[in-house]
A and B are shown apart, each in its own frame.
With several copies, the nearest count.
Chain A
């Protein structure tokens, strides 16, 4: 048995309990992961059963469809190709918006965090923009970006960008000032401080932002498709909804959740690699 210190992920799990307790529970690398997967599957199965029962047996059921009908609908979509086409459109919008929002929001967060005076000046304005319900700006999006994929990408990017910005910006406030000073004393200019200290330090905050932003990228893409489109999962959901087709609505939502779960697991895996040093004290 190896020690927790070589297993950042497990060690992180142990954080608030005693090291030994959690090591015992975790049970070892491979077995722990398998157990986690199995329990998750059990939870999922439980949810599905409850959903099926509610959907079948209660009057409320017709508002939430049920897993079998949803599965059948997803199957239909898969056969007709609608599923792949919709996923392709929405996923590409999501990823492009996510990337754009992350880059812009992250850079803005770091830069305003570094030139803190500017940050303090602009913070309220950024916040004011952030607090606009973006749907109210639908006409402006359309006017600027047309009705293609672009307005949806921009909407997703905006939603993501603000979240990333606030996380990273807040993170800059918690950087140890002495650490920065000492690195500057070693000869680092502002850019070097950002590259060598701020960015690595902020990765914990960035990952929080990424995790929070990812679903919003999807939401942005979908809401964008609600506003204007002829394709994509959002379009399919909206369309089903306007026909009171609950099976279709929930089939769309399930596909969306699946996508976000997959993306999220990828993100978590990346986080475990990058953040092994976090939470060990500076």
Chain B
């Protein structure tokens, strides 16, 4: 089924976010900037706390779409059919943050290359959320190529800062705004920035965040689907054309964040919101990474169907 109709005649849609972070900012801008409304959608954003929950919520039929990475969709393909119609964000959103004293001890010059920085990580204990997620794979991959072995440890994101202070870890790889907050608290230092392209080989073609919809829903509700996609495109244009206003809109979702931290966050992340729609090659690259990670079950994934360029085309034509 589709979303019901709300009182004012607009279609009700629920979208689940895998986490509530700046990386998912475009959904929040689309909501708070009124871009969904403008397309006749009444959208409720759900913080699902984890891609598994987000996918399960979609499978339950209570939620019409989720926002996550292609890896989520690949993995979830064994449990529900998904299409990933658009890129809402591109490039690695994550940043490797090191403890200030550890960074000082490594003694690299400020202008050291990413390869040197990666090599210096040898023997350090770095926290990540889980061994199977893309940032971990990327960091492991690139650091091994640079000749460093990292001891990974897996923590909940909310404990990163505490773990830094307790000196239980030497650093963490995390999404915005965790890195910026650690930096602002003086406990962490940004060491390798994903958005700045510090991870060799992982450019803008990697780790898009996209909108995930089941094929069943997309086929049954082409119109609603197009309008959803269109709203995201609208929001992306808004960020491109009115960055300051967009910044203010997104700020509403992070009211407790310190102003200076917020400026940093916005600076590092905003470009991602306006990234172009992925190509088939981009998706293939991501898929290859995913299957090579060893965690993947692969199987019956139809990459063309998953990219669904026709959905984006249909949205553009609205």
Complex: A in contact with B (CB within 8 Å): yes
Selected from B78, B177, B257, the residue in CB contact (under 8 A) with A62 is: B78
> How far, in angstroms, from A245 to B20 measured CA to CA in the complex?
13
Residue of B nearest to A135 (CB): B156
> How far, in angstroms, from A147 to B78 measured CA to CA in the complex?
21
Is the Cβ of B75 less than 8 Å from the Cβ of A143?
A: no
> How far, in angstroms, from A159 to B166 measured CA to CA in the complex?
24
Selected from A143, A145, A242, the residue in CB contact (under 8 A) with B130 is: A242
Residue A235 CB within 8 A of the other chain = yes
- With A63-B162, A147-B153, A243-B75 already in contact, the answer to whether A142 and B132 are too (CB < 8 A) is no
* Chain A proximity of B198: nearest CB distance (Å): 23
> How far, in angstroms, from A21 to B62 measured CA to CA in the complex?
52
> How far, in angstroms, from A240 to B76 measured CA to CA in the complex?
12
A interface footprint on B44-59 (CB within 8 Å = 1, 0 otherwise): 1111111111111101
Query: Which chain B residues border A244 with CB–CB below 8 Å?
Result: 51-52, 55, 72, 75-76, 78-79, 158, 161, 178, 181
Is the Cβ of A242 less than 8 Å from the Cβ of B20?
A: yes
> How far, in angstroms, from A146 to B1 measured CA to CA in the complex?
14
Residue B60 CB within 8 A of the other chain = yes
Residue A144 CB within 8 A of the other chain = yes
Residue A148 CB within 8 A of the other chain = yes
Is the Cβ of B48 less than 8 Å from the Cβ of A228?
A: yes
Query: Which chain B residues border A148 with CB–CB below 8 Å?
Result: 62
* Chain A proximity of B42: nearest CB distance (Å): 13
Query: Which chain A residues border B62 with CB–CB below 8 Å?
Result: 142, 146-148
Residue B314 CB within 8 A of the other chain = no
Most buried by A among B44, B45, B50, B158: B158
Interface residues on A, range: 20 to 34
Is the Cβ of B132 less than 8 Å from the Cβ of A239?
A: yes
Is the Cβ of B48 less than 8 Å from the Cβ of A242?
A: no
> How far, in angstroms, from A144 to B16 measured CA to CA in the complex?
16
Residue A87 CB within 8 A of the other chain = no
> How far, in angstroms, from A144 to B159 measured CA to CA in the complex?
12
* Chain A proximity of B135: nearest CB distance (Å): 12
B interface footprint on A232-248 (CB within 8 Å = 1, 0 otherwise): 00010011111111111
Most buried by A among B48, B52, B62, B181: B52
Residue A226 CB within 8 A of the other chain = yes
Is the Cβ of A147 less than 8 Å from the Cβ of B254?
A: no
> How far, in angstroms, from A229 to B44 measured CA to CA in the complex?
10
Residue B168 CB within 8 A of the other chain = yes
Most buried by A among B16, B51, B159, B178: B159
Query: Which chain B residues border A62 with CB–CB below 8 Å?
Result: 78-79, 185
A interface footprint on B122-139 (CB within 8 Å = 1, 0 otherwise): 000000011111000000
Residue B215 CB within 8 A of the other chain = no
Interface size, chain B (Cβ < 8 Å):
59
Residue B163 CB within 8 A of the other chain = yes
Selected from A142, A239, A242, A243, the residue in CB contact (under 8 A) with B155 is: A142
Residue B295 CB within 8 A of the other chain = yes
> How far, in angstroms, from A142 to B54 measured CA to CA in the complex?
9
- With A228-B16, A228-B48, A229-B47 already in contact, the answer to whether A140 and B158 are too (CB < 8 A) is no
> How far, in angstroms, from A244 to B157 measured CA to CA in the complex?
10
Residue B28 CB within 8 A of the other chain = no
Is the Cβ of B129 less than 8 Å from the Cβ of A242?
A: yes
Selected from B47, B133, B162, the residue in CB contact (under 8 A) with A139 is: B162
Query: Which chain A residues border B177 with CB–CB below 8 Å?
Result: 243
Residue B251 CB within 8 A of the other chain = no
Query: Which chain A residues border B130 with CB–CB below 8 Å?
Result: 238-239, 242
Query: Which chain A residues border B161 with CB–CB below 8 Å?
Result: 139, 244
Within 8 A of B (CB), among A59-88: 59, 62-63
Residue of A nearest to B132 (CB): A243
> How far, in angstroms, from A244 to B290 measured CA to CA in the complex?
13
Is the Cβ of A144 less than 8 Å from the Cβ of B60?
A: yes
Query: Which chain A residues border B103 with CB–CB below 8 Å?
Result: none
Is the Cβ of B181 less than 8 Å from the Cβ of A228?
A: no
Is the Cβ of B56 less than 8 Å from the Cβ of A142?
A: yes
B interface footprint on A94-110 (CB within 8 Å = 1, 0 otherwise): 00000000000000000
Residue B154 CB within 8 A of the other chain = yes
Within 8 A of A (CB), among B235-262: 254, 256-257
Is the Cβ of B61 less than 8 Å from the Cβ of A146?
A: yes
Selected from B46, B76, B165, B295, the residue in CB contact (under 8 A) with A147 is: B46
Query: Which chain A residues border B45 with CB–CB below 8 Å?
Result: 230
Query: Which chain A residues border B79 with CB–CB below 8 Å?
Result: 62-63, 244, 246
Is the Cβ of B153 less than 8 Å from the Cβ of A239?
A: no
Is the Cβ of A230 less than 8 Å from the Cβ of B60?
A: no
Query: Which chain B residues border A146 with CB–CB below 8 Å?
Result: 57, 60-62, 166, 168
Is the Cβ of A230 less than 8 Å from the Cβ of B56?
A: no
Residue of B nearest to A241 (CB): B158
29 A-B pairs (CB sep. < 8 Å) = A59-B165, A62-B185, A63-B56, A63-B162, A139-B52, A139-B53, A139-B55, A139-B158, A139-B162, A142-B155, A142-B166, A143-B162, A146-B60, A146-B166, A228-B47, A228-B48, A228-B154, A229-B153, A230-B47, A230-B153, A242-B21, A243-B254, A243-B295, A244-B72, A244-B79, A244-B161, A245-B75, A245-B297, A248-B256
10 tightest A-B CB contacts, nearest first: A146-B62, A139-B56, A139-B162, A244-B75, A142-B56, A245-B256, A228-B48, A242-B130, A228-B155, A147-B168
* Residues of A participating in the B interface, judged by any CB pair closer than 8 Å: 59, 62-63, 138-140, 142-148, 226-230, 235, 238-248
